[in-house]
Amino acid sequence: MDNDDRIVTQEDINNSKNKKVDSEDIELTREFEPLDNNAITEESISDDEIVLDQAKESNIIDEDMNSIRNTDIYAKHNRIQKLKDKKKNKTKKTILFIIILLSILLCVGIFVAYKLNPSSADINADNKTNLEFEKMLDEKNNKNKAVIGQKEDAKKIYGVDAAKVWNSLNTYDIDNNGKKEVFLTFDDGPSTTNTPKVLKILNDNNVKGTFFVTGKAQTIDGAPQILRQLYDNGMAIGNHSYSHDYTFLYPKRIYNEKNFLSDIKKNEKKIQESLGMPNFTTRVIRCPGGQMSWQKTEPLNNYFIANDMVSMDWNSLNGDAEPPKKDAKALYDFAVKESKGKNLIVLLMHDTYGKEETVKYLDNIIKYYKSQGYEFKTLV
Ligand SMILES: [Zn+2]
């Protein structure tokens, strides 16, 4: 091959390039468009082939053509890739949006479920709160249900505020506003011998009395049951100390506060135990021997006032604890004499062991007071 043969003019190159580009365009068009036989003639194919052959004679042309071809394909590839990426991104965004939406819905669902259906821990917490509240109410109700001195139904009919009676005794008010009232009181019981008989007589006469019991008496077999019978039959119950021991309560005849108060409290517990009623209490105390018999008892008054309690002595007695020993007739006479001229009578008697004459006289003295127009009341 000589030099002349290798000489190609610039115009030829341009034509060749244009022809090649046209040829490429046709090729690309064929790739993307349906073949149009009318548009591609035999002449045009022939022209293309000539130009292409000419161009192939030059490496430069081949290189340029390859470069153009590559650039064009790369651009196309890029566009497709970008389209694919764009589509992929759009899909990703859609999936992300759905995930976020589902998460929000899940959170809302959990919240609603929690509100509508609390967990077992919450239920337990609620139950615990309810139980504590009920317990508090029970304690309050039990406090309100405390039985003081006497069964409620009997107290409504027979019970009189012992503080008022105490005031009358201390002011020697025996007129009692013209109202005749007698308080039958029985000390030192309950006994298993005489107390049941006393109870029967009271019941037979449809009257009530007040029993000042000791703790010591309740230690005898059967005595607690008798105390409970007194309560069940509407009798009032007062505290007469546990020991009834003068030397312990009033050493050298002087009131000993420490001993006295501990003895009273000990008896209150014993009464609750005998009755089977931890909610029972009594505010009426009868000092063994009577408060009037002992010295320096002022602190006791202060204690009773501070604790809404009452010390209850008497203003009449039947003499069943006074010498000489009396029979039923003598007891009756003694009591009638003691009661003369008094509208308010607090009558001291005993229902403990050895007081059989008191049992014998009791029905008569009740009938006497009834005949005189007295009402039978209890101290509470
Ligand atoms: Zn006594």
Q: How far apart are CA 223 and CA 191, in angstroms?
A: 6
Considering the domain architecture, whether residues 45 and 182 belong to the same structural domain is answered as no
Distance 187 CA to ligand 1 centre (A): 5
Question: Which of 20, 40, 57 finishes a domain?
Answer: 57
Domain match, 33 and 172 both: no
Same domain, 42 and 190: no
Q: Is residue 136, in this structure, part of any structural domain at all? A: no
Residue 93 has a pLDDT of 84
CA of 273 to the centre of ligand 1 (A): 21
Domain count, the chain: 2
Taking the centre of ligand 1 as the mean of its atom positions, its distance from the CA of residue 244, in whole angstroms, is 7
- Give the tokens for residue 352: 């403990």
Instruction: Say how many Å lie between the CA of residue 88 and the centre of ligand 1.
Output: 107
Task: Report the separation in Å between the CA atom of 321 and the middle of ligand 1, taken as the mean of its atom positions.
Answer: 9
Q: How far is the CA of 282 from the centre of ligand 1 (A)?
A: 17
Residues 36, 158: one domain? no
126 C-alpha to ligand 1 centroid (Å):
55
212 domain residue, yes or no: yes
Within 10 angstroms of residue 261's Cβ, the number of other Cβ atoms is 15
166/265 same-domain check = yes
Please check whether residue 123 lies inside any domain of the structure.
no
Answer yes or no: is 187 within a domain.
yes
- Classify 345 as helix, strand or coil: strand
Domain limit, last residue, from 39, 57, 75: 57
Task: Characterize the bridge pairing of strands 375-376 and 310-311.
Answer: unpaired
pLDDT tens per residue across span 213-265: 999 999 999 999 999 999 999 999 999 999 999 999 999 999 999 999 999 99
Say if 80 falls within a structural domain. no
Cα separation, 278 vs 271, in Å, equals 9
How far is ligand 1, taken at its centre, from the CA of residue 264, in Å? 13
> pTM (2 decimals)?
0.64
Centre of ligand 1 to C-alpha 245, Å, is 9
3-state SS assignment for residue 310: strand
pLDDT value of residue 46: 53
Instruction: Tell me, in angstroms, the distance from the centre of ligand 1 to residue 242's CA.
Output: 11
CA of 142 from ligand 1 middle (Å) equals 32
Q: What is the pLDDT of residue 96?
A: 84
CA of 240 to the centre of ligand 1 (A): 7
Q: Is residue 69 part of a domain?
A: no
Residue type, 117: N
Residue closest to 377 by CA, chosen among 246, 120, 185? 185
For residue 258, tell me if it sits in a domain: yes
The rounded Å distance from CA 290 to ligand 1 centre is: 8
Is residue 52 domain-shared with residue 173, that is, in the same domain?
no
What pLDDT shows up at residue 344? 97
Distance 307 CA to ligand 1 centre (A): 23
One-character DSSP codes across 29-78: HHHHS---TTTS-HHHHHHHHHHHHHHHT-HHHHHHHHHHHHHHHHHHHH
Instruction: Tell me, yes or no, whether 45 and 159 share the same domain.
Output: no
Residues paired with 349 in a beta bridge: 186
Query: Do 337 and 213 reside in the same domain of the chain?
Result: yes
- CA 156 – ligand 1 centroid, Å: 27
Task: Assess whether 44 and 153 both reside in one domain.
Answer: no
Domain range for 161:
147-379
The pLDDT value given to residue 39: 47
CA within 13 Å, CB half, 263: 25
Q: Is 147 helix (H, G, I), strand (E, B) or coil?
A: strand
Residue that the structure tokens 């000092």 belong to: 287
Regions of the chain short of the pLDDT cut 70 = 1-74, 107, 110-126, 138-144
CA 319 to centroid of ligand 1, rounded, Å: 13
pLDDT of residue 123: 57
Q: Can you point out the beta strands (E) in the chain? A: 147-148, 159-160, 181-187, 210-213, 236-239, 280-281, 284-285, 310-311, 316-317, 344-350, 375-376, 378-379
Q: Rounded to the nearest whole angstrom, what is the distance from the C-alpha of residue 107 to the centroid of ligand 1?
A: 79
Residue 264 CB neighbours (<10 A): 20
CATH number of 261's domain: 3.20.20.370
Residue type, 349: M
The Å distance, Cα 25 to ligand 1 centre, comes to: 137
